A and B are shown apart, each in its own frame.
Chain A
């Protein structure tokens, strides 16, 4: 209860301070239905937005490919169709949450989400929010979050619009996708579906046996549907339902170092649904959502692992004065899992979180957001997580921002309950806790955008599964990690003529993630060493030429050396790799019909590389995309 009081005190303090304000010229935007929590209260957060319709997204199938091509975060991929996760700023793959329509999709079983299983065609808007954000988004956001959304419904009388996609790619890849949208003055119905199959039988040089081999048992077969009816209720209200079903069958190949043949198959099937009601008035807005997520994972013929989550959230926004915006809300998340390997346990977890954010504008020069969240897990208090973001607008084109935020992560059900053979979970795990400091500079001048960010994060009680001295695995609160780094992002657009534009983006990140204090059960040789699979240097350059209805794009990425052992032996480090992709496309418009064709050549230099040790990735490969739109 003490924490609750603190929360209200924080809100109260702000209340007192704003009352002393007199002049404001910076204006709050009107309360908009479309305005997300990140947009309204993400002051000083570094946000990278990726449009699902950009050239970068063409000829791509899943979210992994898009994120990998622009290098703001590190993508960890176990081969081309295997598990892919994201690492923000040197943190682990379950240290960032993926939100779909505001609902956290992190699996209660393992805390992750496979980006390979996330079709880009089901998402219109991708935003990467870098840095801890526990106050805004709750548990599990130590490194950052990915926010995925469909575009807002448009209520206008329009009988039908259709979009059809066909991709044909190397190694037996076929992708078919379609979207159909119908709308009236107060109702919209949108249905999307896709099917993607690939053999992934690419040839690679196996460095272990020193000969070329063909990748076997790496096929993927997935299909899904997303149904999105939206209803306008009265003057202010919108009711939206979304239902997402997807079925994935993924063959799991052996690693390059393993012998024999693999016939392992993993099937992931999920039902995801969310019902959202929003209503807005001149200076207020409410949003209520309820969501049910079901995930069924089956490995070979083993008993399936099933998890269910019910998530409900209510939030209210209020523009208190011209210069103060407030949001308060409550989130309830109930998770259960049925897993044969939980040793007869039937884990269930109730989380209730209260959260509040206040944004205040100080004259024309500064904006500040104070946010906080308190979560109760099965009635017990978890760490109180506040955050403060400040943004100072020095002039029209230059701003400085600073952020300090706390965050935490609960152990997953697997961490707590998993048992197989001599490997087992650890019920004594405590939550991970993080604190994040960052400072950024932002220049937006004409067609030039530059952003330079420096950050420093500490994560304590980091949970890792570790083999003990007999080779049995168990999770422990193993270390305190310090991750820090510098991120440089730039974008420039140059319009040569009305029908000719050049655009370029350049991203570079320097990341150091080291273990600062290591659990005594672990070798002292790890202290001060880099965390594994965190490249210090990473960068991407994208250049696009748009000429009339034709585009040409070059995409170069670089990933530096990565250690794979915690004593940082050079011998086992993964070599750096640079990948060059090019794409070219053309579209034709004929009245209401639009037809575009594009070709992307990935890894045109045919670079052999591994993102995860002994998981080979394909050399040069092609993807041809045909898109038809009827509007």
Chain B
């Protein structure tokens, strides 16, 4: 995809919501501790228990695979979904094992395991909201009820649970507000997908949902730009027809989108080609360029709207990845390649201009890089 796409402003809601005293809070909330390396979360094949963790040392340019097993002599578990690094500790969310493995981020040894006995049911993502507190999005026991768990980072105990929507997913912190995306859920009896349109805003002081915004279907990731706007990506709802060709039912499916949430409006940019993303949203270190997948490629979009309130989409890498991340220091793009989930995948590093630097074999199903 060499040409660039231009998308029109689709919907503007003005004054739809009120912010509880946070609009003056403009500083960049992204935390960039240390820069000597990053983790790769290798999801593994769902149900097979072959998730693993890799570590890439940026100084020596060496990859260490399976570091959790090497350090602890036990498997990481089933479907490692995400990880955060905070205060020298790594929190690895292993969704299908219903647990979070807490490790020493330097030597990868286990500190503790937070699991169903502590109140987890199907944890998905973690977000640090203060020195002593993190939020965990949790799909609940069957997906029919979603939760936001409040984790005390000092004791590693879950202190509170808030009911949220279906399939709570990635989150972002802006000031005292956490923006929680929702990706919908499968009906576990009919295997049909039930979408969710809600973006929830949670006040980190009260741990209460203050605002609900109806966006398009199935939001999945959020970022904060250098102007304090929150950007949200959503994949839309995918409805497939039956045999013979199982094609995407274009009438029943809904569009993917990028949305900008500012203190006084929400702008939704619908993407015209349905069923092609985005599934993740990343931002560069300057906080002015978004990265997401669309139409089988990685594209970028400036966070600055042009005079007619449009965003421009530019081709960045003409292939898609199972997961991707942007280095918050160097701005390098790291893509996870999962050729299938029955053999090892790899990561590819790209420069800020989209040129391939190198690639490394990692574990099964690498879904992103996590920085320390």
Contacts and interface: CB of A to CB of B under 8 A. Distances in A.
Interface of A: 207-210, 255-260, 300-303, 340-345, 416-417, 419-422, 424-427, 466-471, 522-523, 525-526, 532, 564-567, 569, 571-572, 613-614
Contacts of A419: 240, 242-243, 246
B46 interface: yes
Q: Which of B49, B94, B98 has the most CB of A within 10 A?
A: B49
Given A258-B47, A467-B341, A340 B188 contact: no
B264 to A, nearest CB: 37
A392 B46 CA distance: 52
A258 B78 contact: yes
A341 B50 CA distance: 28
B365 interface: yes
A466 B97 contact: no
Contact of A260 (B74, B77, B116, B322): B116
A266 to B, nearest CB: 13
B189 interface: yes
List the 5 shortest-distance A-B pairs measured between CB atoms, nearest first.
Answer: A343-B242, A259-B98, A257-B49, A567-B343, A523-B339
B97 A258 contact: yes
19 contacts: A208-B75, A208-B77, A258-B78, A259-B116, A260-B141, A343-B241, A343-B243, A416-B243, A419-B242, A425-B246, A426-B246, A466-B340, A467-B341, A469-B320, A469-B338, A565-B342, A571-B66, A613-B49, A614-B47
Determine the interface band of chain B, counting residues with CB < 8 A from chain A. Answer: 35 or more
B245 interface: yes
B19 interface: no
A421 B191 contact: yes
* Most chain B CB within a 10 A radius of its CB, from A343, A424, A572: A572
A468 B97 contact: no
Contacts of A301: 189
Interface of B: 43, 45-50, 66, 69, 74-75, 77-78, 94, 96-99, 115-116, 120-122, 141, 186, 188-193, 238, 240-246, 279, 320-322, 337-344, 364-365
Contacts of A260: 98, 116, 121-122, 141
Nearest to A526: B343
A421 B49 contact: no
Contacts of A344: 242
Nearest to B322: A469
A259 B115 contact: yes
A32 to B, nearest CB: 46
B97 A300 contact: no
Given A207-B74, A258-B78, A259-B96, A523 B47 contact: no
A255 B122 CA distance: 15
Contacts of A422: 238, 240
Contact of B48 (A424, A564, A569): A564
A569 B50 CA distance: 11
A261 to B, nearest CB: 8
Contacts of B48: 257, 564, 613-614
B243 A345 contact: yes
B190 A564 contact: no
A381 B364 CA distance: 41
A255 B343 CA distance: 20
Contacts of B141: 260
Given A258-B47, A566-B342, 19 more contacts: A207-B75, A208-B97, A256-B49, A257-B75, A258-B49, A260-B121, A300-B188, A343-B242, A344-B242, A345-B243, A417-B243, A419-B246, A420-B191, A466-B342, A467-B45, A469-B339, A525-B344, A532-B342, A614-B78
